[in-house]
Amino acid sequence: MAQLRFEALKKLNDRPKITADAITPNISQFFGENVFGMEQMRATLAPAVFKKVSNAIKNHEKIDEVTADAVAAAAKSWAISKGATHFTHWFQPMTGGTAEKHDSFFDALAGIERFKGSELVQQEPDASSFPSGGIRSTFEARGYTAWDPTSPMFLYGTTLSIPTVFVSYTGETLDNKSPLLKALKAVDLSATKVCQLFDKDIQHVVASLGCEQEYFVVDEALYMARPDLVMAGRTVFGHAPARGQQLEDHYFGTIPSRVLDFMRDFEIECWKLGIPVRTRHNEVAPSQFEVAPLFEEVNVANDHNQLLMDVMGRIGEKHNLKILFHEKPFAGVNGSGKHNNWSLITDTGVNLYAPTGSARDNLLFLTFFITTIKAVHEHADLLRASIATNANDFRLGANEAPPAIMSVFIGAQMTAVLNELETNGNVKIEKGDNMYMKLGIDQIPEIILDATDRNRTSPFAFTGNKFEFRAVGSSDNCATPMTALNLIVADQLEKFHEAVNKQIEAGTEKRLAIVNVLREYIKESKHIRFEGDGYSEEWVNEAAKRGLNNIKTMPKAVDAYLSKKSLALFEKHGVLNHKEVEARNEIRLENYIKKVQIEARVIGDLAVNHIIPTAIAYQNKLIVNANGLKGLGIDNGAVVKTIQEISGYIDLIKNSVTAMIEERKRLNKESDTHKRAYGYCDDIKEKYFDAIRDAVDKLELLVDDEDWPLVKYREMLFLR
C-alpha cells in the first residue's frame, strides 16, 4: 500500500500539464447551443404549435398528442443535425443522482431515424431496481418517466436528454422532481393570491434559485490510492497537516493553474448546455473551490445543478482530477455546502424580497419577508429534515457550516424594523447616508435599503433581496430542500391571505388588515430569529430555552417528515400523500444505514489489513533498534516508550474494530428500519468511528513516513 502511495505521488509529479480548450471571448455566440429550449422551438415549430407549447408550459397544462408529435419531430431533426444518435429520458430517482436509459433514433426495421411524440412524452424504465420504500415490490417492475416541458431538452454528447418525472405503475412518485413541481405550483398559487391584494395584474409567481456549489479537487492518482475516498467519498483517517486553513490564505486566492484549466473547460461545457455559470473562486479550505450560476427558475436551476455536477466529474477526468462533492471529505477543515439562494419573482418582474422606493411595493415586500420567517418558525424541524444526510451530519456546526439548530438571520436593521412594527411605533431608523424605504403607513417605520450584514453561521439568512438556505449539503439534490421550503411558504401565504380576508370581511381597511396580521406573525415567530454566533455554546443554551430543536443526526432529524403536522401539510397541497412520505423516509433511512455500513467496512478493512500490519512492522523495527541500543549499553527508554504507544493504539484499534463488527451483526438482524438506523448512528458511527480514527491518526505521527500506507492530507490538499 505504501508503494501505491509513492507511485501516485510520482505520477502526480511526472504528469504533463493539460491546458484548457481555446474559447471565443464572446460566450453569447455559443451559450445554449446544445439546448432545445423555447428559442429553438420558436425557430423550428409552426407558430400555432409553438403557442400551444408555450401556453401549456406557462399555465401548467398538458400538451396534446399532436403537439407532442410536432415537438418530437423538431427535436429529433435538431439533435441529429448536431450529431445525436440516441435519446433518453433523464430523471432523478431517489438515489441522490440522475438516471438515464439510451434508445437509438434509428429504427432498424424501418431503416430510418424515428422519434414519435409518444416516445417524447412517456417511457417505461425498469422501476424494480430503484428505491421505492416499499411502494413497489421487487417483482413489480413497471414504472414510467414522463416529459417535463418546463425544463428544456439538451444534447449531452450524442444523446438528446429529456428531463422527466418518474412515477410507479400505481401512480406514486419515485423521484425528486415530481414533488418539487407540485410544491412550486402550490407557492405560485398562494403567492399570486397574496400579490393580488396589492396588484391585480400579477397572474403568476415564480420561485427562483441560485446554487453556490462548493467542492474539493484532488489528483486522480492520489484519489485512487485512498480506498476510503473511492468507497465512501471521504477520508475516514488522516492526521491534520501542520498547515491547513489557519493562515486564511486560500479563500479568494489565486486559483492554481491546473485547477483553472479544469474550470475553464467545464465552464465551456456548461455554457453550451445553457447553464449560466458565472462565479468561480477558491473556497476557505486548501483544494476547495466554488462555482455559482445566475438565478433561474427553481426546477430548471435544480436540473442544471444536477447536470453541472456530472459535467464537472467528466471534465475532471480529462484533467486527471477527481471532484469531491462529499460534505466533509477531510476532517479539520471546512466542509462543502450548496447554498440555496431563493426568492420569489412575479410575472411583472418584481422580486418580492427586494425593498424599493414604492410604499405599496414595500408593504408587499414586508408581507413576503415576514410570512417567510413565520413559515420557517412553524416548520423549522421539517426544514432541518430536508437537508438531513449522513454526509451533512459531519459538516453541520463545524468549520463555518451553520449549526443543526434552524434559525433565521435578518440583520440588525431589519430586526429594528420588525421590532418597531411589532410595538406599533414610528421611530425613524437612521444610519449614515443610506436610502430609506417609505411605506406610507404610520405604523411602519422607514426601512434602509441593503439592510443586512452576512452571518456565515446562520442556516437561513436574509441577504438583501433573497433568503440563503446555507445548511444544504454540497452533494444534495436541491429538489428536497426546495420542495420543503416552497411548500411551507405556500402554506403560510395561504393562511396569511385567509387571515387578511377575514379582517377585511369584518370591516377592517385592507392595508390595516395586512399590517395587523404581519404584527401577529412578528410576535409569534420571534424565537426563530437569531443574529449572533451560531457556533457558540450560549446559542445552544438559548435555543433550548426558546424551544428550538438541536437535532444533530440524520435518523432523528427525518422523523419530522412523519409528524401529523408535516403529513397534513404535504397532503393539503397535494405534494405527497401519506404513503409517499413514509416511503421516502424509509428510503432515506435505508440509504443512511448502507452508507454508514460502507464506511464501517472501509474503516475495518483499512485498520486491520493496512494500518495494523504497518504499525506492527514498524514496531518490530523499533524492537530491533531498542535491543541494539540496550546491547551497546545506551538508554533505550524513548524507543521503548514509542513501542508501548504503538502497541496501545494497535490494541485499541483491533478491539474497537472487532466490537464494531459484532455490533453491526446484531443491528443487521433488526427488522425495523428506524431502530436499525438509530443503532447505526448511535452504536456504530458515534461510538466507534472517532475512537478508531483518533488511534490511527496518532499512529500516522509515530510510524516512519516511508512506511505509511495512506496518502496523507498534506499530499492531497495542496494540489498544484
Span 587-601, pLDDT tens digits: 999 999 999 999 999
- pLDDT at position 456 is 67
Q: 35-48: per-residue pLDDT in tens?
A: 999 999 999 999 99
Q: Measured in whole angstroms, how far is the alpha carbon of residue 348 from the centre of its chain?
A: 30
Residues in a beta bridge with 345: 206, 351
By CB atoms closer than 10 A (0-12, 13-18, 19+), residue 4 is middle
Pairing of strands 408-409, 460-462: parallel
Q: Which residues are within 8 A (CB) of 131 and not within 5 positions of it... i.e. 6 or more apart?
A: 93, 94, 95, 174, 587, 590, 591
Q: 666-679: per-residue pLDDT in tens?
A: 999 999 999 999 99
Statement: residue 567 has pLDDT above 70: yes
By CB atoms closer than 10 A (0-12, 13-18, 19+), residue 279 is exposed
Of the chain, the percentage scoring pLDDT greater than 70 comes to 92
| Average model confidence (pLDDT) across the chain | 90
Of the candidates 528, 522, 526, the one whose C-alpha atom is nearest the C-alpha of residue 548 is 528
Residues in a beta bridge with 340: 211, 469
Residue at 305 is within a domain? no
Amino acid at the residue 393? D
Q: Look at residues 152, 171, 190 and tell me which one is the last residue of a structural domain.
A: 171
The number of beta carbons lying within 10 Å of the beta carbon of residue 467 is 24
The grid coordinates listed for 54 are 408555450
Nearest 5°: the CA angle 52, 54, 55 is 65
pTM of the model: 0.92
* C-alpha span between 227 and 231 (Å, rounded): 6
- pLDDT at position 454 is 58
Statement: residue 467 has pLDDT above 70: yes
- pLDDT at position 10 is 80
Least confident of 99-103, 202-206, 487-491, 518-522: 99-103
Average pLDDT over residues 497-521: 94
Statement: residue 60 has pLDDT above 80: no
Statement: residue 449 has pLDDT above 60: no
Residue at 623 is within a domain? yes
Q: 152-191: per-residue pLDDT in tens?
A: 999 999 999 999 999 887 788 889 999 999 999 999 999 9
Statement: residue 438 has pLDDT above 60: no
The three-state secondary structure class of 130 is coil
Is residue 62 very low, low, confident or very high in pLDDT (cuts 50, 70, 90)? confident
- pLDDT at position 61 is 77
The residue whose grid cell reads 413514509 is 582
Statement: residue 140 has pLDDT above 70: no
The number of beta carbons lying within 10 Å of the beta carbon of residue 197 is 20
* C-alpha span between 52 and 690 (Å, rounded): 59
Statement: residue 141 has pLDDT above 70: no
- pLDDT at position 437 is 47
Is residue 436 very low, low, confident or very high in pLDDT (cuts 50, 70, 90)? very low
Is residue 399 very low, low, confident or very high in pLDDT (cuts 50, 70, 90)? low
Least confident of 58-67, 145-154, 410-419, 643-652: 58-67
The grid coordinates listed for 38 are 423555447
By CB atoms closer than 10 A (0-12, 13-18, 19+), residue 242 is exposed
Is residue 430 very low, low, confident or very high in pLDDT (cuts 50, 70, 90)? very low
Is residue 453 very low, low, confident or very high in pLDDT (cuts 50, 70, 90)? low
* C-alpha span between 386 and 557 (Å, rounded): 9
Statement: residue 136 has pLDDT above 80: no
Is-contact 173 580, C-beta < 8 A?
Answer: yes
**What string of DSSP letters covers 525-538?**
TGGGB--S-TTSHH
Residue at 232 is within a domain? no
Least confident of 216-230, 346-360, 374-388, 674-688: 346-360
Is-contact 510 360, C-beta < 8 A?
Answer: no
Average pLDDT over residues 31-35: 95
Q: What are the helix (H) ranges across 607-689?
A: 612-631, 637-667, 673-679
Statement: residue 440 has pLDDT above 60: no
Of the candidates 311, 538, 593, 498, the one whose C-alpha atom is nearest the C-alpha of residue 405 is 538
Is residue 429 very low, low, confident or very high in pLDDT (cuts 50, 70, 90)? very low
By CB atoms closer than 10 A (0-12, 13-18, 19+), residue 714 is middle
The grid coordinates listed for 181 are 413541481
Residues in a beta bridge with 408: 460, 529
- pLDDT at position 425 is 39
* C-alpha span between 379 and 397 (Å, rounded): 20
* C-alpha span between 594 and 591 (Å, rounded): 5
* C-alpha span between 308 and 313 (Å, rounded): 9
Statement: residue 446 has pLDDT above 60: no
Statement: residue 475 has pLDDT above 70: yes
- pLDDT at position 424 is 64
Is-contact 557 677, C-beta < 8 A?
Answer: no
Of the candidates 395, 412, 400, 417, the one whose C-alpha atom is nearest the C-alpha of residue 533 is 400
- pLDDT at position 451 is 47
- pLDDT at position 602 is 98
* C-alpha span between 619 and 631 (Å, rounded): 18
Q: Look at residues 171, 194, 229 and tell me which one is the last residue of a structural domain.
A: 171
Residue at 390 is within a domain? no
Average pLDDT over residues 248-269: 90
Is-contact 612 656, C-beta < 8 A?
Answer: no
Q: 106-127: per-residue pLDDT in tens?
A: 887 777 788 988 889 888 776 6
Residues in a beta bridge with 607: none
H or E, element range at 102: strand 102-104
Higher-scoring residue by pLDDT: 254, 703: 703
Domain that holds residue 51: 18-90+96-129+136-171
Residue at 365 is within a domain? no
- pLDDT at position 138 is 56
- 301-318 in b/e form (b: 16+ CB < 10 A) is bbbbbbbbbebbbebbee
The grid coordinates listed for 651 are 490494541
* C-alpha span between 416 and 637 (Å, rounded): 66
Is residue 720 very low, low, confident or very high in pLDDT (cuts 50, 70, 90)? low
Helices H, strands E: what count in the chain? 25, 20
* C-alpha span between 385 and 405 (Å, rounded): 11
Residue at 354 is within a domain? no
Statement: residue 94 has pLDDT above 80: yes
Domain count, the chain: 2
The grid coordinates listed for 627 are 535491543
Residue at 195 is within a domain? no
- pLDDT at position 410 is 93
* C-alpha span between 220 and 97 (Å, rounded): 21
The number of beta carbons lying within 10 Å of the beta carbon of residue 526 is 15
Of the candidates 620, 637, 604, the one whose C-alpha atom is nearest the C-alpha of residue 703 is 620
The grid coordinates listed for 251 are 479563500
Of the candidates 596, 642, 496, the one whose C-alpha atom is nearest the C-alpha of residue 195 is 496
Of the candidates 355, 370, 346, the one whose C-alpha atom is nearest the C-alpha of residue 500 is 370
Phi then psi for residue 444, to 5 deg, are: -115, 125
CA distances (Å), 537 to each of 397, 528, 531, in order?
A: 11, 17, 14
- pLDDT at position 139 is 57
Is residue 249 very low, low, confident or very high in pLDDT (cuts 50, 70, 90)? confident
Residue at 539 is within a domain? no
What is the domain-level CATH number for residue 611? 1.20.120.1560
